[in-house]
A and B are shown apart, each in its own frame.
Chain A
Amino acid sequence: MLLSDFIPLLTELFVLAMACFILVLDAFLPDERRVVSYTLSQLTLLAAALMSWSMLDNAAVVVMHGTFVSDPMAALLKTSIFLITFGAFIYSRSYLVARGIFRGEYYVLGLFAVLGMQVLVSAHSLLTIYLGLELLSLSLYALVAFNRDSAEASEAAMKYFVLGALASGMLLYGISMLYGATGSLDIGEVSAAVAAPGERSIILVFALCFIVTGLAFKFGAVPFHMWVPDVYHGAPTPVTLFIGSAPKIAAFAMAMRLLQETLGGLMADWQQMLTILAVLSMAIGNVIAIAQANIKRMLAYSTISHVGFLILGLLAGTAEGYSAAMFYAITYALMAIGGFGMIILLSRSGFEADRLDDFKGLNDRSPWFAFMMLILMFSMAGVPPTVGFYAKLSVLQAVIHVDMVWLALVAVFFSIIGAFYYLRIVKLMYFDGSETEEPLAVSADMQVAISLNGLAVLALGLFPGGLLAVCAAVFS
């Protein structure tokens, strides 16, 4: 192995080293100096984002004996994962401080989860995919249970762990079948074997079923969505925020590596499976979200419906569709951290603003934050001029381009239903009177973060060209 083999792994090695360093350092820090771990984690993320952004134009290279690939898609996805996590960490700080659980573990586990996502995004072997996925999942399980004294969180962590382990098992079983059928774990070789002309063995289709099931679990697509609302609800809000954002980008990468790159030869089969997943996710997610009184659960069901939309882009099976799904994943993560960030913003120590009613009269209490939430909600509903509209537009365009107009009509139909519950939040903020006189106490970093987040959603909605072009360039 040459030294140059390590260059493409630079960000992974950097994040790994920093995570270990912060872990050790944190053990020696007194409680009042905890902010050092936080700052170091944030600097790590920013530096890593810069590094991976600089790799965006590099050609694809496979290193580490064919297990790791560094290509433009990986560079772009990693950059967005770093930046989204950066935002998630900002939101988490004041929440954790106010509750006396501002510990280094949150950030170390978060960084390990990021490392897992990086490995997943850059996987070029089925084993690497599994490795990355497990590193990500285990960190997330621990994060959910991170507030040890909360019974709710422990319950959520348990559910998440059991169902997540089941899903990993499914995926692993599918991978083992692929190995049995093709004799390789290398994505390139498996792909060539699958695409080879001739009789298609039934075992490949079985493998595909298990892999799609595992994927759907990780995405939270219907009918494998049961864990999503419970985990979102039970986990501490900063953890929900994290789970609901960056891992969706990683899940998109996993789907690309497994379905498009590995099982591209079975596209006709997985297209049908994904169609069912997408339609069910949009239908169930949007309809059940209406019945929720807890905003974390509502956003959980909204995530499910967004995943349905994202899968629409994937199942188009064209470069246009993949870049649309990628745009969707990145922008959705941006909206999700903003939406959960607002819950954190309204919460105080000993009070979780996770009921819908807690948003009542926000316009009277703070017009600016109400306006930010308004932008985020209309963006999730897909109303221009916000970025959510272009995400939907590009996905619809990809789907119509492959002559599945009916699917586009189904999608827009459910997005009308979806608009209702986002509008209800706006209604609560603007049309109803506040239940509390308590003034909003928001730390400065939080104010800046939520404002930038909301304005970014608006600015990307006014000028979506840049990001759209980058996403399209990755697949050309």
Chain B
Amino acid sequence: MTGFPLLSALIWLPVAGGVVLLAMGAMGNTASRQTALVVSIATFLLSLQLYTGFDMTTSAMQFQEQLPWIAAINANYHLGVDGISMPLIILTTFTTVLVVIAGWEVIQNKTGQYMAAFLIMEGLMNGVFAALDAVLFYVFWEAMLVPMFLIIGIWGGPRRVYATIKFFLYTFFGSVFMLVALIYMYLESNSFSILDFHRLPLGMTEQILIFVAFLMAFAVKVPMWPVHTWLPDAHVEAPTGGSVILAAIMLKIGGYGFLRFSLPITPDASHALDWVIILMSLVAVVYIGFVALVQEDMKKLIAYSSIAHMGFVTLGIFLVFTLLDNSGGVQGAALGMEGGIIQMISHGFISGALFLCVGVLYDRLHSRQIGDYGGVANTMPVFAAFMVLFAMANSGLPGTSGFVGEFMVILASFKANPWFAFLAAGTLILGAAYSLWLVKRVLFGDVVNDNVMQLEDINRREFLVLASLAAVVLLFGIWPAPLTEVMHASVGNLLEHVSASKLPAETGLALMGAAP
């Protein structure tokens, strides 16, 4: 594809904006905010062209760009998107605009650097989703840690240093093993192209080792139980914008990694070890749901609920093998996987919105403890309406986007094994319990103290942010078709990949029997 390099623009425009902001550091806070807003909106508008110009009938990579980069190791600057990565890029650009607006008055300390960090991170995250070369992917993937490390560390809460170092080392730990796996595959295929990796034949032992290496990287990022412990710390200490980006996008990168790397590159190992992931997901969904129930800190509660919801994502993704075996066929398997992807995107909106809600309260009272609030609905009725909506969406109320993904995953898991469905659906109750109990304790009842009495309702800026999220949550809840249509072809293609064994013929036959 020739013409305007849209993906490069989506990566480098925000990065350039960030560099400009850093360079004009002394220009004053207002100028930095305005520049950041202009850049983020421009990027968002550009990213919409991805959607309008997207060809939904093909599963091939679109908007491809390829330039030679490091000849010595045959790594190329190769970008492209399919129906799985394209929505995630738009999610990224959309969320960044909201984060910039949400940090408008709140961040008074080093505003230029704050906005720059978010813009640079936006570019890097777009890069992760668009990269089709493993070295390029890894560079974006790791580089992304640097701005986040600084965001939590500079603008975070009291225990920010502990949280941010834990965050960095945890993710770094996961990813270096992935690097070893990528190098191994490069030596096998003499190419760093991810699409070449998809076609690379691999034996079972190799596949399992590579799968484990990927699992370490992506499980930490998702995060899956039991490597989730960095998330509550990072979320609680991060500034509101940081929490939003973490929850809305960075966690999705783990799920995206499973779809782009683990499944197509190591289909047989994924098949053989899918029970591990399913088990970890179910533990996350059930156990973490209970943990969320007892939290006293609002951000922690939402952080744990994020882990539980991401459990749905990994569950949906890895159910495909059981579904394929159970003769549910590609159709049924697609249901689980699409459900997982929709859940990713919808969770991006909902958890982002909930963190923004907590941010609104925190900016006023500087407390995140549930016990410090009560009866907020009396003084902040408009805010309360939004928060109730997002809490409902979080617990999967029909009509909101939260319902669509969860319902698809549960439907798929019922086809796979009714017990999975039983456990997964049980969490809908748990989810409703902790979300609604949070709402009840914070918003409803009598006004508990003078601080709450003096609260002012949200201003226009906050209203704008929350309203746009509410609109999106409702839109995709009522009419999810735009999302599912976009990803349909790509998911189908991925499933075909997954159902075709990579093993040498004689061992592969048994597995091939299950494929349609």
Binding site for B on A (CB under 8 A): 363, 367, 371, 374, 378, 383-385, 389-390, 393-394, 396-397, 400-401, 405, 408-409, 412-413, 415-416, 419-420, 423-424, 426-427, 430-431, 463-465, 468-469, 471-472
Contact = CB atoms under 8 A, between A and B. Distances in A.
B154 A396 contact: no
A463 B468 CA distance: 40
Interface string B42-75: 0000000000000000000000000011111100
24 contacts: A363-B154, A367-B25, A385-B143, A389-B139, A396-B183, A400-B183, A400-B184, A405-B180, A408-B183, A412-B179, A412-B180, A419-B168, A423-B149, A423-B168, A426-B153, A427-B165, A430-B153, A431-B153, A431-B161, A431-B164, A465-B68, A468-B72, A469-B71, A471-B72
A416 B169 contact: yes
Contacts of B365: none
Interface in B293-314: none
A385 B123 CA distance: 13
Identify which of A384, A405, A464 gathers the most chain B CB atoms within 10 Å of its CB. A384
Interface string B480-509: 000000000000000000000000000000
A408 B180 contact: yes
A416 B68 CA distance: 30
Contacts of A383: 142-143, 145-146, 172
A371 B153 contact: no
Interface of B: 22, 25, 68-73, 110, 113, 135, 138-139, 142-143, 145-146, 149-150, 153-154, 160-161, 164-165, 168-169, 172-173, 176-177, 179-180, 183-184, 186-187
B133 to A, nearest CB: 13
Given A367-B25, A423-B149, A430-B154, A396 B179 contact: yes
B183 A393 contact: yes
Contacts of A431: 153-154, 160-161, 164
Contacts of A472: 72
Chain A to chain B: the 7 pairs with minimum beta-carbon distance, closest first: A468-B72, A412-B176, A384-B139, A465-B70, A431-B153, A469-B72, A384-B142
A463 B68 CA distance: 11
A122 B47 CA distance: 56
A465 B149 CA distance: 28
Nearest to B155: A431
A385 B137 CA distance: 11
A415 B176 contact: yes
A363 B154 CA distance: 10
B211 to A, nearest CB: 15
Nearest to A467: B72
Contacts of A463: 69-70
Nearest to A431: B153
Contacts of B149: 423, 426
Given A371-B22, A430-B154, A431-B160, 10 more contacts: A383-B172, A390-B70, A393-B183, A394-B73, A405-B180, A412-B180, A423-B149, A423-B165, A431-B153, A469-B71
B113 A367 contact: yes
A354 to B, nearest CB: 22
A419 B25 contact: no
A419 B70 contact: no
Identify which of B25, B153, B176 gathers the most chain A CB atoms within 10 Å of its CB. B176
Contacts of B186: 397
A276 B109 CA distance: 49
A427 B169 CA distance: 13
Contacts of A390: 70
A401 B143 CA distance: 26
A80 B73 CA distance: 22
A472 to B, nearest CB: 5
A408 B25 CA distance: 41
Contacts of B164: 427, 431
Nearest to B145: A383
B145 A409 contact: no
B187 A416 contact: no
Contacts of A389: 139, 142
A82 B84 CA distance: 51
A439 to B, nearest CB: 15
Contact of A427 (B73, B145, B153, B176): B153
B75 to A, nearest CB: 8
